[in-house]
Amino acid sequence: MTNHRRAIRLGNLPLPTLWCAPLVLLAHLGLAFPATLSAQDTTQAPELVPAQDTLAPPDSIVVPDPAVAAAAALTQRAEDLASEISVLWIDIDTLYQNFTQAEAEERLVLDGQIKRRVAVLRPMLGELTATILEMDSAGLDPSGPRTVAADMLDHARRMVREELFTIGDRMLGLRAKRSTVPLDELVANERRLTQESTDLDAHLRSLVNIAGFKASLGLDVGADYDYVDPLLTIRADRLTSEARVALDAVRDLSQRLQGAGDESQARSIQVELTAAQERLHAATSGLATLVELLDRRDIAASEYKQVLIRATGRITTDVLDVAVATGLIRQAWSSGTAWLFDHVPQMLFNVFMFLVIVFAFRVLSRIVARIMTRAIRKTETKVPEILKELGVRIAANMVFLLGILIGLSQLGIHVGPVLAGLGVAGFIVGFALQDTLSNFAAGMMILVYQPFDVGDVIEAAGVTGQVKQMSLVSTTVLTFDHERLIVPNRQVWSGVIRNKTSEPRRRVDLTFEIGRRDQVARAEAIFADIMNQHPLVLDDPPPEIRVNDLNEASVDFLVRPWVNTPDYWTVYWEITRLITDRFAVEGIAVPAPRREVHLTDSSGVSAADV
């Protein structure tokens, strides 16, 4: 019995392995496949004329009957295949005997060698099967090999049945250990049980394949299917129950793991969860095999397919089956309505509390913003407007964010994964908004170094005007003709920034021209008199009046009075008007540009010389 079981277990790849037993026995017994000719081919085949040293005349050559030659070739091919399979099987059997006695590392090597030889054996078995069927279709009598093959298949079937009971006993022992095995060995015990379950399903597949092979040879398979069909149904029911129990265990243990108190408890629950996942995997894998076998036998398997889809979550072509789809919809509706009745009231209350919490913290954030704004206004320390606005916004948003997190916890959402997800999302968004982030970085630099503040008149990024608003992303400038320009901080910080109102005093630079014939001292006196009489011109530092340049027809003066920064443009415009009016009264003319034009004829004689 040990050798028989070894032969069956050699390749739980069911059909090809089980084929080899009858065929190899034929080869060991030395039985040739008889090729009894049909009635029309019972005439004795003419003998072939042996080769002669000299060529015989054409009329003396005897040509063999093609039908007889084909039958002989077919029979010879069957014998050759049986012989080759016999040799290969002996090699496989020897390797397997060594495999059972080898150590762990050597077993891996021998296992690979066995698998390679079995792969070679499969097409040879298929070819031999086709040859037997071809003999049958050719009118040859395959009763001899068919009878021997049937006896050997029945013998293989009995061995598979005995092995099923042996595997079942081992599985019962492994299941009994679940309650007594130490926690650190629980997963290993489940994996051994999974392997035994896989072997059991493989042997059930072998029984179906044996019956299918016998049917292909025209043998009676009624008893075979009467035995295997109930086994398939019983096994599918068992796996369905195990899948449901394992799925519930996985869900329960997953929830317990999330609420584990300490590390040791979490480790214990994790081991139990891994064992439950292994049981679920074994049940679903075996159920998938049983569903396939039931479909081959045309046995209703819609209920098992529904359980398989729910347990694995994988949508397969089985959902196209009307019975399967209807069952899934009915179960989904039933479970969905039950879930709604159980959870909807609590969910509505949680949503209501979430909205109340968010609203309350929103109001609280506004109150915090107002309190901080008033506190900053009362402080004597000069704080840039952008820093004031940034501090108020950060405080208000932090309060509001705290409210959102508390509301999410009320909904039963764990805040830790949400924060982790926000971090990943922030990285992705930051990578996509690189330009915006560069503006933000420039805004931080402006905040730190404070080159200007709200209300200053600046010239930056090709824009001149008064700063009306500042943020970490952009600066709003109001030009003197009342155009509102929003300039990105990156452009402001990357160029030269001219702050024209950062100092309390400014110098007004004015340029005036007088004719060369006018008295320079007289013009300087006029300038000084106007500077001294104007109320907005500062005495300290005193105004500067200097001759700056001598042109072809004029003398240029630089007049530079100092004024308070807010009075810059008032002084600029009033001094210009006062000096212009005083020049007119004093008879000092502003020289006009002069150009001398000399005209000459073609002979080079100037018009002035004529």
- Alpha carbons within 13 angstroms on the beta-carbon side of residue 87 total 7
Helix segments in 411-513, DSSP class H: 415-432, 434-449, 489-494
Residues 380, 434 share a domain: yes
Question: Same domain, yes or no, for 373 and 430?
Answer: yes
The pLDDT assigned to 2 comes to 36
Pairing mode, if any, of strands 510-515 and 484-488?
Answer: unpaired
In the chain, what percentage of residues exceed pLDDT 70? 71
Task: Provide the pairing of β-strand 498-499 with 505-507.
Answer: unpaired
35 and 71 in contact (C-beta within 8 Å)? yes
Distance CA 227, CA 231 (A): 7
> How large is the average pLDDT for residues 410-415?
72
* Residue that is last in its domain, among 438, 463, 481: 438
How many folded domains does the chain comprise? 3
Question: Do the domain assignments include residue 16?
Answer: no
At 32 the pLDDT is: 33
With tokens 């920064």, the residue in question is: 565
CA dist 192 → 96, 121, 174, 199, 381 (Å): 21, 29, 8, 11, 76
**Which helix (DSSP H) or strand (DSSP E) does residue 206 occupy?**
helix 186-216
Q: Is 335 helix (H, G, I), strand (E, B) or coil?
A: helix
Query: In the listed set 499, 514, 534, which residue is the last one of a domain according to the structure?
Result: 499
| pLDDT above 80: residue 218 | no
Phi, psi dihedrals of residue 463, rounded to the nearest 5°: -125, 140
**pLDDT, mean of residues 177-204:** 85
Q: Which of 282-286, 389-393, 493-497 has the lowest mean pLDDT?
A: 389-393
Express each pLDDT in 312-357 by its tens digit.
655 555 544 555 556 556 656 666 676 667 767 778 888 888 889 8
pLDDT, residue 7, reads 35
The CATH number that applies at residue 576 is: 3.30.70.100
Reported for 276-281, long-range contacts at CB under 8 A and 24+ positions apart, including other chains, are 276/246, 276/249, 276/250, 277/246, 277/250, 278/187, 278/190, 278/191, 278/194, 279/190, 279/193, 279/194, 279/242, 279/245, 279/246, 279/249, 280/243, 280/246, 280/247, 280/249, 280/250, 280/311, 281/194
How far CA 208 is from CA of 290, 397, 428, in Å, comes to 11, 69, 55
Is residue 233 a part of any domain in this protein? no
Count Cβ atoms below 10 Å from residue 161 Cβ, excluding itself: 15
The answer to whether residue 44 is domain-embedded is: no
pLDDT mean over 428-444: 72
Residue 253 inside a domain? The answer is: no
Q: What is the pLDDT of residue 66?
A: 76
If one counts every other C-beta atom within 10 angstroms of the C-beta of residue 328, the result is 19
Residue 529 lies in a domain: yes
Kindly provide the b/e burial profile for residues 290-310, where b requires at least 16 CB atoms within 10 angstroms of the residue's own CB.
Answer: bbebbeebeeebbebbbbbbe
pLDDT per residue as tens digits for the range 483-522 = 999 999 889 988 899 998 888 899 999 998 888 776 788 8
Is pTM beyond 0.85? Reply is no
546 plus 495 within the same structural domain: no
Number of DSSP helices (H) and strands (E) in the chain, helices first: 16, 10
Q: How far apart are CA 466 and CA 481, in angstroms?
A: 11
Q: Which amino acid is at 365?
A: S
Q: Answer whether residue 106 shows pLDDT above 70.
A: yes
Same-domain status, 369 and 400: yes
Indicate the pLDDT class of residue 206, thresholds 50, 70 and 90. confident
Q: What integer pLDDT is reported at residue 220 of this predicted model?
A: 82
The residue range of the domain holding 386 is 361-438
- Would you tell me the crossing angle of helices 434-449 and 415-432 to the nearest 10 degrees? 90
Could you say which DSSP state residue 478 is in? E
The pLDDT of residue 281 is above 80 = yes
Q: What is the pLDDT of residue 47?
A: 38
Give residue-wise pLDDT tens across range 10-49. Answer: 333 333 333 333 333 333 333 333 333 333 333 333 333 3
Read off the pLDDT of each residue in 199-209 and give the average, rounded to a whole number.
84
DSSP letter at 137? H
In this structure, the answer to whether residues 393 and 431 fall within a common structural domain is yes
- Specify if 413 maps to a domain: yes
Average pLDDT over residues 225-237: 89
What is residue 1's predicted lDDT score, i.e. its pLDDT? Answer: 36
| 470: three-class secondary structure by DSSP | strand
Confidence at residue 423, expressed as pLDDT on a 0 to 100 scale = 64
In terms of domains, do 400 and 367 share one? yes
How many angstroms separate the CA atoms of 374 and 387, rounded? 14
Residues 427 and 365 in one domain: yes
Domain containing residue 474: CATH number: 2.30.30.60
In terms of domains, do 458 and 490 share one?
yes
The rounded distance, in Å, linking the Cα atoms of 5 and 1 is: 6
- Contact between 600 and 606 (Cβ < 8 Å): yes
Q: Taking all residues of the chain, what is their mean pLDDT, rounded to a whole number?
A: 75
In this predicted structure, what is the pLDDT of residue 369?
86
Percent of the chain at pLDDT > 90 equals 10
Here the tokens at position 371 are 């309190």
Q: Which two tokens stand for residue 402?
A: 């705290």
User: Which token pair is 82?
Assistant: 């049986």
Which of the residue ranges 103-112, 188-197, 227-236 would you say has the lowest mean pLDDT?
103-112
Q: What six digits make up the tokens of 528? A: 């000084």
Whether residues 552 and 537 fall in one domain: yes
Q: Does 189 fall in a domain?
A: no
What backbone phi and psi angles, to 5 degrees, belong to 506?
A: -135, 155
In a domain, 370, yes or no: yes
Phi, then psi, of 51 in degrees rounded to 5: -70, 140
The verdict on 371 and 390 lying in the same domain is yes
pLDDT at 487: 92
Residues 458 and 528 in one domain: no
Last residue of a domain, one of 386, 408, 438: 438
